[in-house]
Amino acid sequence: MPEKRKVPRKKFSTYMRVLDDDTEKTVGHLVDVGLRGLQLEVAAPIPMGQEYHMHMELTPDVSDKLFMFLAARSKWIRPDEIMPNLYRVGFEIVHMEPHDYEIYQRLVEIYGE
pLDDT at 8 over 90: no
Q: Place 5 in a pLDDT band, splitting at 50, 70 and 90.
A: very low
Cα distances from 95 to residues 35, 62, 80, 99, in angstroms, run 12, 20, 27, 12
Q: Is the pLDDT of residue 80 over 60?
A: yes
pTM, entire model: 0.85
Q: Which domains are present in the chain?
A: 10-111 (2.40.10.220)
Helix (H, G, I), strand (E, B) or coil at 25: coil
pLDDT in tens, 10-60: 565 667 899 999 999 999 999 988 888 999 999 999 999 999 999 999 988
| CA 84/CA 67 separation, integer angstroms | 30
Cα first-last separation, the chain: 22
Q: Is the dihedral of CA 9, 80, 104, 110 positive or negative?
A: negative
